[in-house]
Amino acid sequence: MPTYVFRCGRGCPDFAEQHSMATAPADTPCPSCSGQARRRIGAPALGVGNSTGMRVQDATRATADSPDVVRSPPGSRRRAPLTANPLHRKLPRP
């Protein structure tokens, strides 16, 4: 549920409330003076929090900017033969 910030017209401090996007009111009673507080338009808090999506995005960005240092080439593993036909062993190797 998104957080909406409201500002009272009488100089009270801003306050935040959570509403669903479908039911977000344009104004709500001020908790300090019970006057009408209007919803403000602000920047979305996209980079805030410790969500899984943010961790994945940070890890992806870190990989692109500073890849891990490789100290040696990856080891060569023997692959399983592609075919079991003994005649294929006589074919030239690449």
Residues at the interface with Zn ion (CB under 5 A): 8, 10, 12, 30, 32-33, 35
Residues 6+ away with beta carbon under 8 Å from 26: 38, 39
Q: How far is the CB of 13 from Zn ion (least distance, A)?
A: 8
Q: How far is the CB of 28 from Zn ion (least distance, A)?
A: 11
Nearest CA-CA partner of 14 in 38, 34, 49? 38
- In whole angstroms, what is the distance from residue 30 CA to residue 61 CA? 41
Which lies closer to Zn ion via its Cβ, residue 10 or residue 40?
A: 10
Closest approach of Zn ion to the CB of residue 6, in Å: 9
